[in-house]
């Protein structure tokens, strides 16, 4: 548990340092979204504590930060799994059967859109177009894009990831 | 000689297939040919000569006039004449002005902006520097989607490299002109593609649109005069400066000059980006550049303009691709997404898909968009669930037309287009859904009937998959589905490995 606390302190320090640099620039308030990106990158998601920290450091009310964080899809307000699966629901993917991929994942993982599996391994989201329409239908798992998916292909990918985790 | 080799590289690498033959590449001229992370490659291909030309030979007024005379129009969707925007911003007296690049490519199915930034980032840097010189701005901002990590990386490198070569920064190329730029990341909100919402987002606020006027040229980013153009528009600038307004306006048709990049996707043989001269017909781009529909299926519709556009039918395939003709046909040019739809798609369902998108992306500021689209979606969902009522189609039309007139920004003003255009062109399909509870394309699950055919070997996979217990049968014997228990979830269909489950949809008797 101590290592966890230590880790959080380290994250907070990095966020503070990042904000200190931002405050040196013109119109620092306009960098709020940049700061939230950084905070999410470091912390994994935007917790209430992280938002309070940003609020204090940037001298912006938490209510304003909450307003911004909830407006944009990119910001996650709950912890997400180790593998963050974004199923592209853009037009090209939709026409080529993205909803089938989504249904398969729902059945396979037993979670709905925006949810995380209990073992904190997988989260699933619907993505707006990720601009890989030539490979439709696609899904992105963390930063990697998987193209030309079929229900079987996506099941195989999930099983492979599960196996990798077990052997670790 | 070497130069010739370089330009020939294109057909050398790709061959002279039809896909490339019909294209004319201006915005994409370097994509795939140069190393995007190497500024020398760009300079070798003629890069930054346009910037040098404006700084040494042209006054800001000359630059504005050239862009105006070229007839270039905004490539982001609305098609506003670029030169007029430049002129309006240049006229403003202010100690600080901005140029902004809209790289928040939100339309699903469009990826030309990403490709330009990933394949030729310096063209944006150069275009924006020229724009800044013309309107008297000293700062530039590129608003880029966070979903495009590679584009972010390459553009960042391009900006840094340009600074090192004194192509950005103070006294560029030893002139009096100073200009620098930065990237600001979006965070996944479709409405931020709207110019005033985008500026709010750059300012670190919720990306909600502002009322216009004042227009950005007068009061834009940080309430300063702002020139905002789309990625593809910026990418055209250097070529216009080098080759002149006359050259550019000789390409294309009447009111739409130059080329447009389209992202071909969906049920088409050649998916990918195609830059074509304005005035080409839809038929040419789909069947010649795109190579037609694969798997012997029949063409049903082409959707242009993303969630703001409309669906055009077979009879409209000879429509010319220019701003006016597409609008007249009931769609829009939009940012250039072109989704080809074949006979396996249900048009009501496609309309619902787009509306789901715009409904969840509505920022909630104005009532017509926030409430109206939600009500439209409710009606459409009812129709696809087999609970449509007589009069629903008329209600959709009435609501749609009202939302178009009363919404604050482009998102709401165009959100009903996919529904209205599919009602106009595929009214019969809507009527079948509403009156006969049938979906001829076998897409709307609630309107289907699942039956088991004689290919069934009795493996019981479907029986185990069925959450309603509607499937009965002994192992190794053909199974049957009890229709009164079936909840039409489609799980049996997906679980069957022997194609033994049929989907049908027949007209139901009217009560």
Does B451 reside within a domain?
yes
- What is the per-residue pLDDT across B369-412, written as a single tens digit (0 to 9) for each? 999 999 999 999 999 999 999 999 999 999 999 999 999 999 99
B46 contact A CB<8A: no
Q: Which residues of A125-160 are buried (b: 16+ CB within 10 A; e: fewer)?
A: bbbbbbbbbbbbbbbbbeeeebbebebebbbebbee
Residues B233, B283 within the same domain:
no
The SS3 of residue A139 is: strand
Contacts of B266 in chain A (CB under 8 A): 91-92, 95-96, 136
- Of the candidates B107, B204, B361, the beta carbon closest to that of A33 is on B204
Residues B47, B170 within the same domain:
yes
CB contact under 8 A, B108 and A33: no
Please report the pLDDT score of residue A134 as a whole number. Answer: 83
- Confidence band of B14 (pLDDT split at 50, 70, 90): low
Does B351 reside within a domain?
no
Residues B245, B257 within the same domain:
no
Place of tokens 């069925």: B466
Opening angle at CA B94, ends B93 and B95, nearest 5:
140
C-beta atoms surrounding B175 within 10 Å? 14
Which H or E run contains B336?
Answer: none
Distance in Å, alpha carbon of B250 to nearest chain A alpha carbon: 32
Distance in Å, alpha carbon of A110 to nearest chain B alpha carbon: 14
Q: How far is CA B166 from the centre of its chain?
A: 35
CB contact under 8 A, B265 and A33: no
CA dihedral over B333, B338, B339, B341, signed as positive or negative: positive
Instruction: Retrieve residue B99's tokens.
Output: 């140029």
Does B462 reside within a domain?
yes
Q: How far is CA B508 from CA B199, B315, B393, B446, B501, in A?
A: 52, 30, 19, 13, 21
Distance in Å, alpha carbon of A167 to nearest chain B alpha carbon: 29
Question: Could you tell me the end-to-end alpha-carbon distance of chain A, in angstroms, rounded to an integer?
Answer: 21
C-beta atoms surrounding B507 within 10 Å? 11
Q: How far is CA B294 from CA B318, B336, B424, in A?
A: 20, 21, 27
Cβ(B129)–Cβ(B168) below 8 Å: yes
The SS3 of residue A83 is: strand
Cβ(B132)–Cβ(B224) below 8 Å: no
Interface pTM, i.e. ipTM:
0.88
Please report the pLDDT score of residue B68 as a whole number. Answer: 97
Q: How far is CA B507 from the centre of its chain?
A: 36
Q: Which of B21-35, B45-59, B242-256 has the lowest mean pLDDT?
A: B21-35
CB contact under 8 A, A132 and B184: no
The SS3 of residue A58 is: helix
Residues B264, B159 within the same domain:
no
Name every residue whose Cβ is closer than 8 Å to that of residue B251 and which is 6 or more positions away in sequence.
B24, B26, B257, B258, B259, B277, B278
- Of the candidates B105, B339, B361, the beta carbon closest to that of A131 is on B105
CA dihedral over B137, B37, B271, B21, signed as positive or negative: positive
The residues with which B501 forms a beta bridge, in sequence order, are B452
Whichever domain contains B98, its CATH number is 3.40.50.11540
Size of interface A-B (CB pairs under 8 A): 116
Please report the pLDDT score of residue B489 as a whole number. Answer: 85
Closest-CA residue in chain B for A69? Answer: B206
Q: Which residues 3-22 of B are in CB contact (within 8 Å) with A?
A: none
C-beta atoms surrounding B158 within 10 Å? 26
Among residues B378, B370, B376, which one has the least CA distance to residue B417? B376
Q: Which residues 185-244 of B are in CB contact (within 8 Å) with A?
A: 185-190, 201-207, 222
Calculate mean pLDDT across residues B23-30.
Answer: 92
Contacts of A134 in chain B (CB under 8 A): 265, 271-272
Picking from A46, A90, A151 by the largest number of B CB atoms within 10 A of its own CB, the best residue to mutate is A90
- Of the candidates A34, A91, A143, the beta carbon closest to that of B339 is on A91
Q: Which residues 448-467 of B are in CB contact (within 8 Å) with A?
A: none
Q: How far is CA B137 from the centre of its chain?
A: 29
DSSP code of residue B410: H
Picking from B106, B108, B208 by the largest number of A CB atoms within 10 A of its own CB, the best residue to mutate is B108
Q: How far is CA B92 from the centre of its chain?
A: 32
Please report the pLDDT score of residue B12 as a whole number. Answer: 54
Residues B362, B497 within the same domain:
no
Does B47 reside within a domain?
yes
Among residues B300, B360, B306, which one has the least CA distance to residue B110? B306
Task: Calculate helix-pair angle for B149-164, B112-119, nearest 10 degrees.
Answer: 40
Helices (H), B292-415: 323-329, 347-361, 367, 373-384, 392-406, 410-414
The SS3 of residue B259 is: strand
Q: Which one of A40-44, B288-292, B349-353, B378-382 scores highest in mean pLDDT?
A: B378-382
Cβ(B419)–Cβ(B355) below 8 Å: yes
Place of tokens 């504005």: B64
Calculate mean pLDDT across residues B245-274.
Answer: 93
CB contact under 8 A, B354 and A91: yes
Place of tokens 């593998």: A83
Distance in Å, alpha carbon of B245 to nearest chain A alpha carbon: 32
Residues B241, B389 within the same domain:
no
C-beta atoms surrounding B289 within 10 Å? 23
- What is the per-residue pLDDT across A11-29, written as a single tens digit (0 to 9) for each? 999 999 999 999 999 999 9
Q: How far is CA B363 from the centre of its chain?
A: 19
> Which residues on chain A place their C-beta less than 8 Å from a C-beta of chain B?
27, 29-34, 36-37, 67-68, 71-75, 89-92, 94-96, 100, 103-104, 107, 127-134, 136, 143, 151
Q: Assess whether pLDDT exceeds 90 at residue B495.
A: no
Distance CA B306, CA B298 (A): 22
The SS3 of residue A59 is: coil
For chain B, give the percent of residues with pLDDT over 70. Answer: 96
Residues B239, B94 within the same domain:
yes
Whichever domain contains B298, its CATH number is 3.10.20.600
Please report the pLDDT score of residue A110 as a whole number. Answer: 93
Mean pLDDT of chain B: 92
Name every residue whose Cβ is closer than 8 Å to that of residue A109 and which is 6 or more positions away in sequence.
A117, A122, A124, A158
Calculate mean pLDDT across residues B43-68.
Answer: 97
pTM: 0.91
Does B228 reside within a domain?
yes
Instruction: Retrieve residue B152's tokens.
Output: 């972010």
Of B342, B376, B405, the position where a domain reaches its end is: B342
Distance CA B372, CA B377 (A): 9
CB contact under 8 A, B339 and A95: yes
Distance in Å, alpha carbon of B72 to nearest chain A alpha carbon: 25
Whichever domain contains B384, its CATH number is 1.20.1440.230
CB contact under 8 A, A91 and B106: no
Residues B127, B169 within the same domain:
yes
Instruction: Retrieve residue B282's tokens.
Output: 């839809």
Residues B108, B77 within the same domain:
yes
B405 contact A CB<8A: no
Contacts of B202 in chain A (CB under 8 A): 30
CB contact under 8 A, B339 and A92: yes
The residues with which B266 forms a beta bridge, in sequence order, are B340
Of B409, B436, B463, the position where a domain reaches its end is: B436
Whichever domain contains B474, its CATH number is 3.30.70.20
DSSP structure string for B263-308:
EEEES-SS-EEEEEETT-BHHIIIIIIS---GGGPPEEEEEESGGG
B495 contact A CB<8A: no
Contacts of B204 in chain A (CB under 8 A): 29-33, 68
Residues B92, B193 within the same domain:
yes
Contacts of B221 in chain A (CB under 8 A): none
- Confidence band of A53 (pLDDT split at 50, 70, 90): very high
Does B84 reside within a domain?
yes
What size, in residues, is chain B?
A: 511
Residues B114, B75 within the same domain:
yes
Name every residue whose Cβ is closer than 8 Å to that of residue B119 and which is 6 or more positions away in sequence.
B28, B30, B31, B32, B36
Contacts of A103 in chain B (CB under 8 A): 490, 494
Contacts of A27 in chain B (CB under 8 A): 203, 222
Does B215 reside within a domain?
yes
Residues B35, B74 within the same domain:
yes
Does B23 reside within a domain?
no
Distance CA A71, CA B352 (A): 23
Please report the pLDDT score of residue B18 as a whole number. Answer: 72
**What is the extent of the structural domain holding B111?**
28-250
Phi and psi angles of residue B450, each rounded to the nearest 5 degrees, phi first: -100, 130
Domain tally for chain B? 4
Distance in Å, alpha carbon of B350 to nearest chain A alpha carbon: 8
For chain B, give the percent of residues with pLDDT over 90. Answer: 83
Distance in Å, alpha carbon of B271 to nearest chain A alpha carbon: 5
Please report the pLDDT score of residue A5 as a whole number. Answer: 59
- Of the candidates A37, A131, A151, the beta carbon closest to that of B146 is on A37
Instruction: Retrieve residue B483's tokens.
Output: 């229709």
B150 contact A CB<8A: no
Distance CA B50, CA B54 (A): 6
The residues with which B182 forms a beta bridge, in sequence order, are B141
Q: How far is CA B92 from CA B97, B98, B226, B234, B271, in A?
A: 9, 12, 10, 21, 44
């Amino acid at each position: 548990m101590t290592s966890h606390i230590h880790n959080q302190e380290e994250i907070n320090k990095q966020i503070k340092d990042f904000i200190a640099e931002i405050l040196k620039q013109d119109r620092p308030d306009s960098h709020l979204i940049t700061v939230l990106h950084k905070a999410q990158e470091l912390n994994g998601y935007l917790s209430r504590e992280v938002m309070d920290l940003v609020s204090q450091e940037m001298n912006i009310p938490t209510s304003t930060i909450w307003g911004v964080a909830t407006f944009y899809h990119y910001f996650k307000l709950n912890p997400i799994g180790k593998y963050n699966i974004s199923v592209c629901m853009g037009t090209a993917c939709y026409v080529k059967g993205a909803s089938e991929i989504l249904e398969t994942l729902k059945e396979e993982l037993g979670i709905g859109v925006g949810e995380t599996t209990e073992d904190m391994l997988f989260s699933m989201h619907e993505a707006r177009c990720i601009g890989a329409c030539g490979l439709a239908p696609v899904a992105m798992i963390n930063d990697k894009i998987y193209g030309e998916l079929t229900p079987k292909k996506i099941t195989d990918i999930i099983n492979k990831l599960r196996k990798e985790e077990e052997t670790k | 000689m070497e130069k010739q080799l370089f330009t020939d590289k294109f057909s050398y690498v790709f061959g002279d297939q039809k896909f490339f033959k019909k294209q004319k590449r201006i915005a994409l001229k370097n994509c795939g040919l140069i190393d995007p992370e190497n500024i020398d490659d760009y300079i070798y291909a003629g890069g930054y000569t346009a910037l040098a030309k404006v700084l040494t030979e042209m006054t800001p007024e000359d630059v504005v006039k050239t862009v105006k005379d070229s007839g270039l129009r905004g490539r982001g969707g609305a098609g506003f004449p670029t030169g007029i925007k430049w002129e309006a911003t240049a006229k403003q007296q202010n100690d600080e002005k901005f140029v902004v690049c809209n790289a928040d490519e939100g339309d699903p199915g469009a990826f030309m902006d990403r490709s330009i930034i990933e394949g030729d980032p310096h063209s944006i840097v150069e275009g924006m520097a020229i724009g800044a010189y013309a309107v008297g701005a000293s700062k530039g901002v590129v608003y880029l989607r966070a979903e495009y990590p590679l584009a972010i990386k390459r553009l960042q490198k391009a900006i840094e490299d340009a600074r090192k070569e004194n192509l950005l920064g103070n006294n560029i190329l030893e002139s009096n002109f100073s200009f620098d730029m930065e990237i600001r990341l979006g965070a996944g909100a479709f409405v931020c593609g709207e110019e005033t919402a985008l500026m709010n987002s750059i300012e670190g606020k919720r990306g909600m649109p502002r009322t216009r006027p004042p227009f950005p040229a007068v009061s834009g980013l940080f309430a300063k005069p702002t020139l905002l153009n789309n990625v593809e528009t910026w990418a055209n600038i250097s070529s216009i400066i080098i080759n002149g307004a006359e050259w550019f306006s000789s390409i294309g048709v009447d009111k739409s000059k130059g080329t447009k990049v389209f992202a071909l996707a969906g049920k088409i043989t050649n998916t990918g980006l195609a830059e074509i001269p304005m005035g080409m017909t839809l038929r040419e781009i789909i069947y010649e550049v795109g190579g037609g529909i694969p798997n012997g299926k029949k063409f049903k519709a082409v959707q242009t303009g993303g969630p703001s556009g409309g669906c055009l039918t077979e009879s409209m395939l000879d429509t010319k691709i220019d701003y006016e003709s597409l609008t007249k046909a009931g769609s829009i040019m939009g940012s250039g997404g072109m989704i080809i739809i074949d006979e396996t798609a249900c048009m009501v369902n496609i309309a619902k898909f787009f509306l789901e998108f715009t409904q969840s992306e509505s920022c909630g500021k104005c009532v017509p968009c926030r409430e109206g689209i939600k009500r439209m979606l409710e009606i459409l969902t009812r129709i696809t669930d087999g609970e449509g009522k007589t009069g629903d189609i008329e209600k959709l039309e009435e609501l749609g037309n009202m939302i178009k007139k009363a919404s604050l920004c482009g998102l709401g003003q165009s959100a009903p287009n996919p529904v209205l255009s599919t009602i106009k062109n595929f009214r019969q399909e809507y009527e079948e859904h509403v009156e006969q509870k049938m979906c001829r394309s076998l897409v709307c699950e609630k309107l289907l009937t699942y039956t088991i055919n004689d290919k069934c070997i009795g493996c019981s996979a479907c029986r185990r998959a069925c959450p309603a217990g509607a499937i009965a049968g002994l192992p190794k014997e053909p199974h049957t589905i009890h229709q009164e228990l079936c909840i039409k979830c489609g799980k049996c269909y997906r679980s069957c490995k022997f194609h033994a489950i049929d989907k049908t949809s027949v007209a139901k008797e009217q009560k």
